[in-house]
Chains A and B, each alone.
Chain A
Amino acid sequence: MNSMPLLRIVPPVVRIARRPQRMVERQLMCYRRTWPILLSGFFEPLFYLLSIRVGLGKLVGDVKVGGRILGYAEFVAPAMMASSAMNGAVYDSTMNVFHKLKYARVYDAVLATPMGIGDVALGEITWALIRGLLYSCAFLLTMIVLGLASSPWIVLSLPICVLIGFAFAAVGMASTTYMRGWTDFEFVPTATMPLFLFSATFYPISSYGSWAWVVQLSPLYHGVALVRAANAGQSSWGNVGHVGFLLTMAFAGLWVVSRRLQSLLVK
């Protein structure tokens, strides 16, 4: 059997990568002294979930989704978890990468060694995913402690959040290669804020009526739907579609990164 057609869908940065783990090692070295900064990321879910549990959850009544009745906090918590995975990945792949690309010249030094742009791109995205996974674990723990987890299947939210992070980190890094200066980053919240608000985050997709198709264009919606399904312990063919959407986004992002990073870093 010929494996070439299959190989061809793999973005070039992945194919040419040989030692992306070294970029991850570099990040671990950086955090060896500054690991308390990582801790700050654990407070975010706590505050989010507490505010819902204590505040919103009391004000807003139960929600009916797919024939099941859920407490509002149980409904919103998975969406928060998915959004948090998105935000972390976007931050790591835009601001952090841009700084290293333009100002710290970290990659210039790296590329003078046997490392290549595939190692840089894949290494940085992998790091974003590892960090994201840590935060997702914290989020999950907090949910369990606050009694917001309703099914053992919720553990699947961890790989789902890694997938969400992968999709957003790839696209985030791709957009970063087009940024000319810090002012361009003001467009980042312009993109993520509406996603956060209109991805069936705070109300079920049924309440969008005939506009539901717009919501389905939001990648975060697919992430939210997956985490919600995990929390409800519901499997359906729709989930395959959600996974497919996020994977497509990740690969598309990596393709752009492959093309752009070469022209940015290799002059």
Chain B
Amino acid sequence: MSPEPLIHATGLRKQFGDFTAVDGIDFNVQPGEAFGFLGPNGAGKSSTMRMIGCTSPISGGTLRLFGLDPATHGRDIRRRLGVVPQLDSLDQELTVEENLIIYGRYFDLSRAEARRRAVELLDFVQLTDRAKSRVEPLSGGMKRRVTIARSLINEPDLLLLDEPTTGLDPQARHILWDRLYRLKQQGVTLVLTTHYMDEAEQLCDRLVVMDAGRIVAEGSPRQLIEQHATREVLELRFPAGTNADNEAYALGIGDRHEVLPDRILVYAHNGDEALAKAIGAGAKPESALVRRSTLEDVFLRLTGRTLVE
């Protein structure tokens, strides 16, 4: 018997005037799970996250968190959530430490308890030395870490992260991934959105691919790759503007292929074999690369578009 889902959504919709941002999606998130929304700009990820965060009323369908209805129990639900919004909303008039303390006060923590947790959390995100600093001079990655620390002040059961690492350098991203991974191990349920394949593959047990307000695929990263892509991908680069002329070489050497502006992708079980066949047929690519399939390939397959332009 599976436990009651932490989040339960059916036919969930979000409408802004005539425009439909989220167009009837169904999903469940189980306690302890790391669940991801993957999709390009405008897919409706943030709109969905705000509905889950009980700061945006739903336009249709049903949504339950902890078995409660956001329309009637918004406060009770928010009490148990941690929210990292897409755009940092730190209080510019306060210091890093004060940001955490006042946030704890919004959750009715005593001053002493809020202070104690602030110290602990700043240590967790490795920003103890910036505790007394104003927010403004911090780097993007540091602000993101403060926002994550802030979202943990009420020891949430469910953490909502809207593009937690967008705009960060690789090192900052890895620090964040590590922290999120630890939270997951402590039993915190994570729901995150991302543009990045590697992020989804690193962090998510299960994810849905969203496009234009709908869910187009669902599964674990592995399952999605197995279902919607081949094991390997051969990337062929030809001189600029000759992709169309060279498309013939990609025919028949793999399961299928895709012509992108800058390269041709051949989906094959064995990429090296496919490359050998293409060269044998007389192809003269400027460069060739064999790699494992990723969620990027899944996305391309499902929507005919690349995820990060």
Cβ of B89 and Cβ of A22 under 8 Å apart?
no
Cβ of A26 and Cβ of B83 under 8 Å apart?
no
**B72 nearest CB across to chain A (Å):** 13
Tell whether B224 is near chain A: CB-to-CB under 8 Å. no
Over the window 111-140 of chain A, the binary record of Cβ atoms lying under 8 Å from chain B Cβ atoms (1 yes, 0 no) is 111111000000000000000000000000
Question: Which listed residue (B56, B105, B154) contacts A266, Cβ 8 A?
Answer: B56
Tell whether A104 is near chain B: CB-to-CB under 8 Å. yes
In the bound complex, residues from chain A placing their C-beta under 8 Å from that of B55 are: 108, 111-112, 266
Tell whether B79 is near chain A: CB-to-CB under 8 Å. yes
A267 to B53, CA, bound (A): 12
Cβ of A112 and Cβ of B94 under 8 Å apart?
no
In the bound complex, residues from chain B placing their C-beta under 8 Å from that of A106 are: 89, 91, 93
Identify which of residues 6-34 in chain B touch chain A, using a CB-to-CB cut-off of 8 Å. Answer: 16
Tell whether B143 is near chain A: CB-to-CB under 8 Å. no
Cβ of A109 and Cβ of B91 under 8 Å apart?
yes
> In the complex, which range does the number of interface residues on chain B fall in?
20 to 34
Tell whether A29 is near chain B: CB-to-CB under 8 Å. yes
A30 to B154, CA, bound (A): 22
Tell whether B108 is near chain A: CB-to-CB under 8 Å. yes
In the bound complex, residues from chain B placing their C-beta under 8 Å from that of A18 are: 75
Over the window 81-98 of chain B, the binary record of Cβ atoms lying under 8 Å from chain A Cβ atoms (1 yes, 0 no) is 101010101111110001
Tell whether B184 is near chain A: CB-to-CB under 8 Å. no
Which of A19, A22, A26, A109 has the most chain B CB within a 10 Å cutoff? A109
In the bound complex, residues from chain B placing their C-beta under 8 Å from that of A113 are: 78-79, 103, 106-107, 154
Pairs A–B under 8 Å by Cβ, sample size 6: A22-B105, A25-B102, A26-B91, A29-B101, A113-B78, A114-B79
On B, residues with C-beta under 8 Å from A are 16, 50, 53, 55-57, 74-76, 78-79, 81, 83, 85, 87, 89-94, 98, 101-103, 105-108, 154
Q: Which 4 A-B pairs have the closest CB atoms?
A: A113-B106, A109-B89, A112-B83, A105-B89
